[in-house]
Amino acid sequence: MANTQPIFAAVLAYGLIGERLALRGWTGLLIGFLGVIIVAAPQVFAGNERSTGLGLMYVLLAALGVAAGNVAIRKLANRVDAAMAMGLQLLIGAIPLMIIAVLTEHPRAVVWSPGFIVSLVGLALPGTALAFWLWQTTLRSMPLSKANVFSFLVPFLGITIGALFFAEPLTLMVMIGVVLAGIGVYLGTKAEPDRDPVRDQGSACRSK
């Protein structure tokens, strides 16, 4: 359900920044999302109905929040340095998280072992800071909906890693989902937006 984010983002981008996606792009988004649904459906509907419904609500709210954030990043892409924008959004997000952690967690709950430190640094630098900077840089030159379609590959990369390192099975449904996601990514990246006002604005600024 987290992969509803590209669809939310496409709708918000149309309404807030005037980025209009062509029919081919919408088709790619929907096919890619269908591929993810085919893979996720057995796990989603296998658990307790009440807890699953609550979990889905939280995931959809999170996806909507990420989509809104991506639209904001896209809007500011040509106005703010990518590294500065990345650093500020991580700092702003870290402040409330730090307050909540201090109020709800005990400092001794963290065991500063070498393995934990390596994992923390790996998550903080390449896994978060570098990834956010690359995403910010990408949105300077690519429409949001076209960049976002690659999000459909994330669960399949996870499945591939699971199969390679943890011997998790690759079922027929997974393979069908992979094919559909691949088709969705292809259509989404080949589609040109009907209108990309952010890119037009950036070109106008550079020409001055």
Residues 82-133 pLDDT 10s: 788 888 888 888 999 999 988 988 877 788 899 999 999 999 999 888 988 8
| Count of alpha carbons within 13 angstroms of residue 83, beta-carbon side | 1
Structural domain of 112:
83-139
Domain boundary among 139, 157, 178: 139
List all residues 6 or more positions away from 194 whose beta carbon is below 8 Å from its beta carbon.
20, 21, 22
Whether residues 70 and 89 share a domain: the answer is no
Number of domains comprising the chain? 2
Nearest partner of 67 among 105, 103, 19, judged by Cα: 19
Whether residues 73 and 159 share a domain: the answer is yes
Whether residues 165 and 132 share a domain: the answer is no
| Average pLDDT across the chain, whole number | 82
Consecutive H or E run containing 111: none
Rounded to 5°, the CA angle 28-128-183 comes to 15
pLDDT recorded at residue 203:
52
φ and ψ at residue 45, rounded to 5 degrees: -95, 10
Predicted structure pTM score: 0.75
| Count of alpha carbons within 13 angstroms of residue 153, beta-carbon side | 11
Lowest mean pLDDT among 138-152, 173-187, 190-204: 190-204
Whether residues 186 and 122 share a domain: the answer is no
Whether residues 72 and 166 share a domain: the answer is yes
Q: Roughly what angle, to the nearest 10 degrees, separates helices 5-16 and 23-44?
A: 150
Say whether pLDDT at 191 is over 90.
Answer: no
Show the tokens assigned to 206: 């550079």
Whether residues 55 and 114 share a domain: the answer is no
Whether residues 111 and 164 share a domain: the answer is no
Whether residues 9 and 66 share a domain: the answer is yes
